[in-house]
Amino acid sequence: MRLRRFSSIPAATTRRSGRKGRLAKASSAASGFACAVCAFGAALAQSSAPAGAGGGTPPMSAGDWWTINRDAAATRYSPLRQITARNVTGLTEMWTYTLGGNSTAVPIVVDGVMYVPSGDRVVALDGDSGEELWSYVLEPQADGAREAPARPPSVSNRGVGYWPGDADHAPRVLFMSGSLLHAVDASTGESATGFGAGGAVEIGVPYGGAPTLYRNVAIVGATVGEVPQGPPGNPRAFDVVSGEKLWEFQTVPQPGERFNDTWGDGWERRSGANMWAFAATVDARRGIVYLPISGPAANYWGGDRPGANVFANSIVAVDAETGAYRWHFQTVHHDLWDVDMPSAGGLFDFVRNGRRTPAIAHVGKSSYLFVLDRVTGEPLIEVEERPVPSGDVPGEWYAPTQPFPIRPEPLSRVAFEPERDLVRPEDTTAAHAAACREVMERSGGFRNEGPFTPFMYKAPDAPPRSTIQFPGGTGGVNWGGVAVDPATGYVFVNAHDTSLVGWIEDRDPEKNYGRGTAGSEQPYDRASIFGPGPYASFNAPLSGEFDENGRAVGPTLPCHRPPWSKLVAVDASKGEIVWESVLGINESLPPGRQRVGGSGSAGPTVTAGGLVFVGATTDQRFRAFDAATGEELWTAALESNANANPMTYLGASGLQRVAIVAGDRVVVYGVPRG
């Protein structure tokens, strides 16, 4: 690795030196953690400590943002209130910084210094001006197996983590690059002395997220493929000071371990069931980390893993320092829909009849919100096991029931009835609506029996026999997760509708069934009228035209009735939807029909100023909503879609900024003085 330094020292760099000293002072345990924003008042300081804070971790200043979810509790709540509904319309772009490629990262900020991944490097920026303070650059990795050019390395484009140091060690920034966990000095950008070999540790498997930090523990997930037999998706933990491995949690129980019987004979070398989510959630006061464990491989056929498949599709609570199991809650039994577990959820206090219970609120791609006691894992809002449809794929095992919270209602569409839900000419255009009917007819119609409808088997040379599923493999609430306002108990999410269509067929080893599936020996896999693979949705061309191969001509739009995405606020203690607002417009539609929604996978951020900030949409916009009412208050045009979670912070100037990554740029906004 090399550290890029400036050959000359401009005047701004002199400020950099002083700022680094203040950063070390504010972050060092030995210094008492001086607070740079205490002038904001005692009430603000109290609100900056989220549910689950404490546990020996020094307090975070109200103006800081230490993790991709701001705090260990993953609330994405900022106690800052300089920007409110009264002045949010005055937000103006203050500066931008170009990254080394498109990114979904959430910058972090400590004492006015921003840290963000940028292609093959991590950079430290002045939070007020965007001036680059230091840049840590990865060296190309040579291929030791054969003579080949060095491979360009890259830092995870999800984000980085911050460790505030202790009496003997300076604060560190930790990040992933493939299967290497790196640590650098937060003030200088130099490799952290004593951490692994030259500031990096091999964790054994790639991980595309950001390290989750608790005390001196760095917790990481695993990025594995979609082939049933392969590397395990086990989360692991490492010592922040030395890089020593501390624990590894076995997500597919082995013989002799509890819950092994939920896999039949399918436990052996089972892959998937991994924590691909960008971070975990921590109750720092109790020392519990909540691991979001995704579905097992393969995604759409599980005949070789008969049973409920614990710990797949589960929130798993373990001791953060030892990895010892505490409890788990499975949100989907025997996943056949790629529902996964894109985030663990956020911590808050559940209030009923004046009694407060420590809780975690989780909602994922199924769009069902689960509210659990975070100490015991017991549902605080009742969950029922309800019968769900079965299928006919040879050798498949179908779970007879799935868990459903009794409230709130699902946050996205979970069923499809053509007469009710098929798009109409007045929703989009006559040409698009006609093309949607054509796709449905070519597909042999669409079977849907409600939530968790499985794909059916189509024999070779049989006519099309299609199923349609909602919210779809990327729908519901994806990796953007929740934002939680501890003052109101409201949970905010970007909930969007997508569909999956097609069937299960005999797998042809000569065909491509999607990213990460090459080499799989599974006998069955997904396909549709558009060919093999898992990506087919019920979309049709806005032009209404198809080419000679039946492919859409021009851009496509969903074929179910809008809105296609919403920003939703839920009172998590009551289990009631408070408000819903359409999220996004589509300017390709005629005037008067453009407010249809349209979003990617990112999520919102909420502030004590009463605002919810969200990008996520496919219309190149960044928005602010009133947290109490859902009214859209402010919109800014961007050069690219902002498929990343926003954040907010105080610069060294003491002024609040709001930042989001859009495409390959960090874009920072503020309200000008005066």
Does the structure show a pLDDT above 80 at 24? no
Q: For 241-274, how does the pLDDT look when each residue is reduced to its tens digit (9 = 90+)?
A: 999 999 999 999 999 999 999 999 999 999 999 9
Q: Which of 28-32, 54-58, 302-306 is the least confident region? A: 28-32
Domains along the chain? 2-670 (2.140.10.10)
Per the prediction, the chain carries an average pLDDT of: 91
Tens of pLDDT, residues 129-158: 999 999 999 988 665 545 556 678 999 999
Residue 124, number of CB atoms within 10 A of its CB: 26
- According to the model, what pLDDT value does residue 97 have? 98
Give the C-alpha separation, 366 to 364, whole Å.
5
Higher pLDDT among residues 528 and 20, named by residue: 528
Band (pLDDT 50/70/90 cuts) for residue 321 is: very high
Ramachandran region of residue 533, left (φ > 0), alpha (ψ -120 to 50) or beta? left
Q: How confident is the model at residue 58 (pLDDT cuts 50, 70, 90)?
A: confident
Q: What is the pLDDT of residue 13?
A: 23
pLDDT at site 345: 98
CA distances from 317 to 270, 282, 373, 526, 605 (A): 21, 9, 11, 33, 24
Is a pLDDT exceeding 50 seen at residue 21? no
Give the pLDDT confidence score for residue 51 in this predicted structure.
66
Give 557-623 as a DSSP string. EESBPSP-EEEEEEETTTTEEEEEEE----TTSPTTS-----B-S--EEEETTSEEEE--BTTSEEE
Tell me the average pLDDT across 494-503. 96
Q: What percent of the chain clears pLDDT 90, i.e. is strictly above it?
A: 86
For the chain, percent of residues with pLDDT exceeding 70: 90
Decide if 544 contacts 557 (C-beta within 8 A): no
Burial degree of 165 (CB within 10 A; 0-12, 13-18, 19+): buried
Average pLDDT over residues 92-105: 97
The pLDDT, as a whole number, for residue 38 is 31
Calculate mean pLDDT across residues 616-636: 98
**Is 631's pLDDT higher than 60?**
yes
Q: Can you give the pLDDT at residue 52?
A: 64
Amino acid 8: pLDDT? 26
List pLDDT tens digits, range 292-309: 999 999 999 999 999 999
Band of pLDDT at residue 475, cut at 50, 70 and 90? confident
Label residue 56 by pLDDT band (50, 70, 90).
low
Higher-scoring residue by pLDDT: 475, 321: 321
| Residues 13 and 172 sit within 8 Å (Cβ to Cβ) | no
pLDDT score of 478 more than 70: yes
Rounded Cα–Cα distance for residues 94 and 657 (Å): 9
432-466 residue pLDDT tens: 999 999 999 999 999 999 999 999 999 999 999 99
Q: Is 3 a residue whose pLDDT tops 60?
A: no
Residues 539-596 pLDDT 10s = 999 999 999 989 999 999 999 999 999 999 999 999 999 999 999 999 999 999 999 9
pLDDT at 673 over 70: yes
| DSSP secondary structure of 574-593 | TTEEEEEEE----TTSPTTS
Q: What is the pLDDT of residue 1?
A: 39
